[in-house]
Amino acid sequence: MIPLTYEKYKEYDGKEVSVAGVKFLLEKPVLNGTRPKDFQLQTSTVYSFPKRGDWATHHLNSSYRGNFAPEIARNMILRYSRKGEIVFDPFCGSGTTLIEAKLLDRKPIGMDINKDSVLLSWNRLDFGKSNGAKLYIGDARRMSRIRSDSIDFVLTHPPYANIIRYSRRQGDLSLLDRPSFIREMGQVASEIYRILKPGKFFAMLIGDARAGGKYRPIAYQAMKQVLGAGFSLKEDIIKLQWNCSSTGYWRSQSEKYNFHLIMHEHLFVFRK
């Protein structure tokens, strides 16, 4: 793990970063308010957000591939952490978890193996007071700078094997094939178990895929690895997918080759 400080991020003002083939300019973000309109805490095991929230700096993340709805982060953080506690995301991407942790008066800590993603997360956090935010470049299988039993809540949205390749960096789990990815998620889960305080929670949003004419249950295979690391399962929430750019194409393929579109993900909540 290599710390990337706010001061180091500021050296990149006006420069461009690239993640999964999408370019982003690191300039002072424009804040779109500080809270969502008509937010409601979810009470069932089905989450559905047809229109993704765009408050704060979330509106800048619409083109970041594979990012998740800020409504998910807000629901999870409100349910499983308290003000002043540490919220950690080991696959921070464009910073959705970290933005919500900051807005909700938690201390955000993020990490990503891709330096450009970490810089982008700092950019999205570049408003108001820091809330003690810390960001690292690092491998989620080896969180050497984080003490055991020190984190209050972990919320993350890891890659789904190699469906989207986020970088070319050695150790990036998004470069692995499905069996290798599932195996390595066991090491990620063990590290999260180590750093999380006893009795605290770890939430993970992850989906499935199709390959070779078969349904590949990546989410349940990853869940099995997390349970094997010592966690217990508290919730399995189904999160419906909306506004996917490739839906039109896959709908035509579905009719041609007779398969159902995968239009959901799993939001697992585990307890140490």
- Look up residue 31 and give its DSSP letter: P
Rounded to whole angstroms, how far apart are CA atoms 100 and 70?
Answer: 7
Question: Tens place of pLDDT for every residue, the chain, 272 residues?
Answer: 999 999 999 999 999 998 878 899 999 999 999 999 889 999 999 999 988 899 999 999 888 887 899 999 999 999 999 999 999 999 999 999 999 999 999 999 999 999 999 999 999 999 998 889 999 999 999 999 999 999 999 999 998 766 677 677 777 887 888 899 999 999 999 999 999 999 999 999 999 988 888 899 999 999 999 999 999 999 999 999 876 656 555 566 667 767 788 889 999 999 99
In CATH, what number does 2-6+44-271 get?
3.40.50.150
Rounded to whole angstroms, how far apart are CA atoms 113 and 47?
Answer: 29
User: Which tokens hold the place of 267?
Assistant: 């939001």
pLDDT tens-digit profile of 108-154? 999 999 999 999 999 999 999 888 999 999 999 999 999 999 999 99
- Residue 111: in which H helix or E strand, if any? strand 107-112
User: Which tokens hold the place of 184?
Assistant: 């390595």
Which string of DSSP letters, residue by residue, matches 179-210?
A: HHHHHHHHHHHHHHHHHEEEEEEEEEEE--EE
Domain ranges of the chain: 2-6+44-271
Which string of DSSP letters, residue by residue, matches 81-114?
A: --TT-EEEETT-TT-HHHHHHHHTT-EEEEEES-
Phi then psi for residue 218, to 5 deg, are -55, -40
Distance of CA 185 to the CA centre of its chain: 14
**Closest of 144, 98, 146 to residue 118, by C-alpha:** 98
Angle between helices 178-195 and 218-228 (to 10 degrees): 40
